[in-house]
Amino acid sequence: MSQQLDDITNFDRYYYTSDFSIPTGSNKLLNYYSIKHLYYSNFNTGSGLIEQSGSFENYIQSSFGYSGSRTLDSTGEGIAISIPKSLYGVYVEPSSILISSSFSYGSFPSGLVITDDGEGNLIQNGNRVGNAIYSHGQLIVTSFNHYQFLSASEAAGTGSRIDFKSNNPIYTYTYNIKISDYEFNHTLNPTAQSGSTVLDYSGSKYGQPSGMYADNVTGSVFQPYITTVGLYNDSDQLIAVGKLAQPLPKPADTELTIQIKLDV
């Protein structure tokens, strides 16, 4: 998947109008301050370590957040890769991110491969080059060399491939279908009828059910088998059909409950 890259450079202030109107200028400065406020404001700009007195959550992605660090250079550059929520669902699965490109540029003559460590850090050859905010689908590359590579790759039209695993919940609804002892004790299956009337239409013969039960299904010991359950909405429209794993005999002397589970 090729993804649009957003420049988060801070020093291009002159691109902005007084009202920060994105359509009339670059959005680099707005990207920078948005990312800084959301993900880096609690971290010391020098050491990169988190300051426990911070007043913002910053979406720490690891239980080891206080021992990690994040650095966003106020005069540097970076790339923010925003994955659409429709693709990542609830969050990007940790340890599933792979940013790759075969583009040859500068100190990366053989291309580039970036992964995540499952703790919110983007890693290339053991070195941290940015941060992954799994819950927001944000991949932020803060390393200058890697930023330059991705920018050059984008400008050359080759782009980068981004692979990841999404996390989408599956909701299970359970319905209890209660059938009284006096319900569904007869079958309408044509095969249970005694025979058929042969009708001839222009030389073609058609079988029409006789409407009479066969002798083997008229006894008191015979009960039909349930194989399918339909779910209807308030307008009596069929919205789901459930198939039983095996035919279920319908008892005539006791109530029966069938439990249907629907995953959506």
Q: What is the pLDDT of residues 7-59, one digit of tens each?
A: 565 544 333 333 444 444 456 777 788 888 888 888 877 777 777 655 567 88
Mean pLDDT over the full length of the chain: 78
Q: pLDDT value at position 238?
A: 93
Q: pLDDT value at position 196?
A: 59
What distance in Å separates the CA atoms of residue 29 and residue 75, rounded to the nearest whole number?
A: 11
Would you say residue 206 has pLDDT above 50? yes
Q: Considering only CA atoms, give the Rg of the chain.
A: 32
Mean pLDDT, rounded, for 78-84: 86
| pLDDT per position as a tens digit, 230-261 | 999 999 999 989 899 999 988 888 999 999 98
For the ranges 1-10, 47-56, 198-207, the lowest mean pLDDT is seen at 1-10
Between residues 144 and 259, which one has the greater pLDDT?
259
Q: Where are the domains of the chain?
A: 5-167, 172-263
Give CA 38 to chain center in angstroms. 23
Q: pLDDT value at position 14?
A: 37
3-state secondary structure the chain: CECCEEECCCCCHHHCCCCCCHHHCCCHHHHHHHHHHHHHCCECCCCCEECCCCCCCCCCCCCCHHHCECCCCCCCCCEEEECCHHHHECEECCCCCEEEECCCECCECCCEEEEECCCCEEEECCEEEEEEEHHHCEEEECCHHHHHHHHHHHHCCCCCEEECCEECCCCEEEEEEEECCCCCCCCCCHHHECCEEEEEECCEEEEEECCCECHHHCCCCCCCEEEEEEEECCCCCEEEEEEEEEEEECCCCCCEEEEEEEEC
pLDDT band for 64, please (50, 70, 90 cuts): low
